[in-house]
Amino acid sequence: MAGILVIGEVQDGGISAVSGELLAAAGKLVDEGVSGGTSLAVMGDDLSAVTAAQAPGADRVIRMSDPALRDEGTGGYDAPVLAVAALNESISPDIILFAKTDFGAVAGPRLAFKLGVAVAQDCIDVALDSETGRVAVTRPVFGGNALGIYDFNGDGTQVATIRPGVFDPVEGEGSGTIEDFDVSNAVSGVRAVLVETVVQESEGVRLEDADVIISGGRGLGGPAPFEQLQELADLLGGAVGASRAACDAGWVDHSYQIGLTGKSVKPTVYLSFGISGASQHMAGLSGARNIVAINKDGDANIFKSARFGVIGDWEKVLPAFTATVRDLAG
C-alpha cells in the first residue's frame, strides 16, 4: 500500500488538535492527486479511548499500544522510531508526516535516518509536483527572511515535519476504520526508557491556543513595556507575543516569538504594539482573523495586513486602551 502516513499525537486520551492539522495537510495532497489513502497512526500505552471518529480525513486509524510508548516514549524516542519503522515496513507509505512538536522534531529526522531517506523540517506548506509526482515542501530559509521550495529526490519515502498552526484542522467526525498494530517485537530492543516526566508549569493561556494575542516589537524600546502588555492580555483572557527583534534583544524569552522562526498563531484578534510588520513576522500571522496595528510610523508594513490601525505613540495608546477595557470589564 502507498499513500500518506500521518504520525498523530495523543492528548488527554484522544487525538490531539495538531494531528487534525496534519490530516488537513494530507487532505491537500490527496486533493492534488496523491493516491493510496491516508492512515493516521497514534501510539501510547493505553489507546482505548482513541476512536476513528476523532480523526476526520483519515481513511483508517492505526493504534500502536505498548508500555514502551507511554507519552510517545518521551526521552530518547527510541521506541516510537522503532514502532513507526515497523509500520512503515508493513504498509509502505509514499509520504510520512510529523508535526514539528517536541516529539516530531526529533522523531521525524531519526526515522528518516533509520530509513535512509531525506527529511524536510519545519514545513509551512506541502504540494504535489505534477511533473515529478513527488511532494514539494515550502519552508523558511536564511534565518526566516525568505521561503524556499524543495523537492524530494529519488524514489524513497518522503518524510516531512509540519509547523503547527499553518493548517486548519479538519472538522467533523471521522468515518474511517480502526486497527491495532502489534509493535511489541519492534520495541523490545529499546535501550532508552522513560523514568520520569517533569512538566514545566506555566501560567495563563498558551500562545498557540490564545484567541487574543497582545504582541510587542522593537518599537517598545525595552523589556518593561511587556508588563503592560501582560496586564492587557490578562484583562482580555489572552496571551503575550513578540517579534523576533524583541526576542533577539533579550526583552522576552524566545518562546514568545511569532513568525517564520517562531510560532504560527491563529487568534481572532491580534493587537500589535511597535511592530513594523517584517515579512518573517507576518508569515506567522497568516491565520489571524483580525489584526489591529498600533505604530507611530504610518508607512509601517503591518498596516497593509491590518483590519484596524492606529497611527500613534504606543505610550499613549496602550494605557488608554487598557483603561477602557478595564472599565468595560467592570
Residue 24 and residue 19: Cα distance in Å, rounded? 9
Does 185 reside within a domain? no
Does residue 152 sit in the same domain as residue 218?
A: no
Query: What's the number of domains the chain is made of?
Result: 2
Cα distances from 15 to residues 50, 52, 165, 274, 303, in angstroms, run 7, 9, 16, 38, 38
Q: Which of 180, 195, 218 delimits the end of a domain?
A: 180
Determine the angle formed by the axes of helices 314-329 and 225-236, rounding to 10 degrees.
Answer: 30
Judge whether 65 and 180 are in contact, CB under 8 Å. Answer: yes
Question: How far apart, in whole angstroms, are the C-alpha atoms of residue 156 and residue 252?
Answer: 42
Q: Is the separation of the CB atoms in 297 and 314 below 8 Å?
A: no
- Same domain membership, residue 263 and residue 325: yes
Q: Within this chain, do residues 37 and 175 fall inside the same structural domain, yes or no?
A: yes
Q: Tell me if 187 is assigned to some domain.
A: no
Please check whether residue 313 lies inside any domain of the structure. Answer: yes
- On whether both 288 and 152 belong to a single domain, the answer is no
Partners of 65 in the β-ladder: 44
Helices (H), 42-136: 78-91, 104-115
Closest by alpha carbon to 1, among 74, 96, 63, 91?
Answer: 91
Asked if residue 174 and residue 35 are part of one domain, the reply reads yes
Statement to judge: residues 118 and 60 lie in one domain? yes
CATH number of the domain that residue 214 is part of: 3.40.50.1220
Which one, of 243, 234, 231, lies nearest residue 295 by Cα? 243
Residue 9 lies in a domain: yes
**pLDDT string in tens for the chain (330-residue length):** 579 999 999 988 789 889 999 999 999 999 999 999 999 999 988 898 899 999 999 999 999 998 888 766 555 688 899 999 999 999 999 999 999 988 898 999 999 999 999 999 999 999 999 888 899 999 988 766 788 999 998 888 999 999 988 898 988 999 999 999 999 898 887 776 667 766 656 667 888 889 999 999 999 999 999 999 999 999 999 999 999 999 999 999 998 999 878 888 889 999 999 999 998 899 888 789 999 999 999 999 999 999 999 999 999 999 999 999 999 887
User: Looking at the structure, do residues 153 and 228 belong to the same domain, yes or no?
Assistant: no
Residues 275 and 167 grouped into a single domain: no
Parent domain of 29: 4-180
CA atoms within 13 A on the CB side of 126: 36
- DSSP string computed for 80-106: HHHHHHHHHHHH--SEEEEESSTTHHH
Q: Please tell me the pTM assigned to this model.
A: 0.74
* Residue 18 belongs to domain with CATH number: 3.40.50.620
